[in-house]
Amino acid sequence: MIDAHPVFGIEQARCLALEAGDIGSVDAMLSQALVYVHATGSVHDKDALLAHLRERVHFTLVQRANLELFDEGRTVWLTGLMRLRGQRLPGNDPFSSTSFVTQIWVRGAERWLLTLLQSTRLPDEMWPAELDVQS
């Protein structure tokens, strides 16, 4: 069962931390070797992603759906949909996006760390209607 694996809970906590603007908590979940490929095609390492989160975006919603987890021991990959809503800074321009996301989590000495995230933009209609959140 997917929700029995710790990575599922860590991903939920990552989403909540992004919504809360808790960049310190997000930082603790990221590998030093992070490669983060945004749906726009921008690629960030860990330091660039954290700067982006502090200076360029504010999330009001980070939601996941249709998650599948594949466990290979010390490496797990998680796939599924992600819906984002928020504002681009500094102008507070609103945005909303739906993507298919593949993540690779690696078990370090002390905890699971997000090592790769690849996001591919999808039409918003791909988001399951029963999970649509109005805000």
Looking up residue 65, the CATH number of its domain turns out to be: 3.10.450.50
The domain tally of the chain equals: 1
| CA nearest to 45, candidates 56, 54, 34 | 34
Within a domain: 133: no
pTM passes above 0.85: yes
Domain encompassing residue 80: 2-123
4 alpha-carbon distance from chain centroid: 19
Judge whether 96 and 124 are in contact, CB under 8 Å.
Answer: yes
DSSP-assigned letter for residue 120: E
Cα–Cα distance between 43 and 69 in angstroms, integer? 24
> With 60 as the cut, is the pLDDT of residue 12 above it?
yes
Is residue 131, in this structure, part of any structural domain at all? no
28 located within any domain:
yes
Q: Is residue 108 part of a domain?
A: yes
Q: What's the rounded Cα separation, in Å, for the pair 76 and 7?
A: 8
Question: Does 27 fall in a domain?
Answer: yes
Residue 134 belongs to some domain of the structure: no
Residue 128 located in a structural domain:
no
Q: Is pLDDT above 60 for 135?
A: no
Roughly how many angstroms between the first and final C-alpha of the chain, as a whole number? 31
What is d(CA 65, CA 80) in angstroms, rounded to the nearest whole number?
6
Domain membership flag for residue 92: yes
In this prediction, residues 20-49 reach a mean pLDDT of 97
Q: What are the tokens at 43? A: 């690629």
Residues 6+ apart with CB under 8 A from 13: 25, 29
**Per-residue pLDDT reduced to its tens digit, 88-108:** 999 999 999 999 999 999 998
